[in-house]
Amino acid sequence: MKAFDLHRMAFDKAPPDFLWEVALRCLYTFVLVFLFLKITGRRGVRQMSLFEVLIILTLGSAAGDVAFYDNVPMIPVLVVFVSLALMYRLVMWLMSKSEKLEDLLEGKPVIIVEEGQLAWQKLREAHMTEFEFFMELRLSNIEQLGQVRLAILETNGQISVYYYEDDAVKPGLCILPERCIERFRVIPEGGEYACVRCSVVITLQAGDRQLCPRCANPEWSKVSWAKRIS
């Protein structure tokens, strides 16, 4: 084998005429994927559950192979698509009949923030970091957790947020990036402080070295009273 052989790199063993067949195969798989998404009623990836992403990945593998491998026949790929579509319909019907199966395949919504406090253990169980979660909240113009009455991590990975009215906003943990928040292990002055891990708010005095009563974290930041600006 010759290194950097442009003809081998471009065509390998396929003749140049095979490129027309590749184009036809791509059109074929494009139509199959389009029809599958129309049948299942999906409009976007962010609407997809774990089960649906698994189906799409399986389709992608079948579609990719038939698109540019000359030894992959096209009819079996059609059978794969039809089989997956029927399986999808069957599983959706079974999930409508069985809540346990739905929970197994789709998962359950998880309450991550309730009355301004972060359920950090549930966040870890959902395999999501505080950094990722706070980034999602900041995209909704949230500066501190006291603005949030309820935040729910949905089964498709999106976060539903319900806010307090401005006059009901509580003091809470500021969720701006770390460089924007001053953290303390020794409290510089008396006042209300929020645990930077679990967001619990307590009153501390100057000079205190306090472990969080909720999560035993030693770091604190001054609470924020910021109201939400949409």
- Within its chain, how far is the Cα of 128 from the centroid? 8
Predicted confidence (pLDDT) at residue 45 exceeds the cutoff of 60: no
Q: What is the pLDDT of residues 10-23, one digit of tens each?
A: 666 667 777 777 77
Residue indicated by tokens 């990945």? 57
Domains of the chain: 6-104 (no CATH), 110-222 (3.30.240.20)
* pLDDT value for 18: 72
Nearest by Cα to 69 from 117, 124, 12: 12
Nearest by Cα to 204 from 196, 214, 194: 194
Q: What is the pLDDT of residues 156-212, one digit of tens each?
A: 778 899 999 988 999 999 999 888 889 999 999 999 999 998 899 999 999 999 999
Q: What is the pLDDT of residues 46-58, one digit of tens each?
A: 556 667 777 777 7
Residue 9's pLDDT band, with cuts at 50, 70 and 90, is low
- Of 39-43, 48-52, 215-219, minimum mean pLDDT range: 39-43
Q: Which residue has the higher pLDDT, 218 or 47?
A: 218
Helix (H) or strand (E) holding 50: helix 50-68
The predicted model scores a pTM of 0.64
* pLDDT value for 67: 67
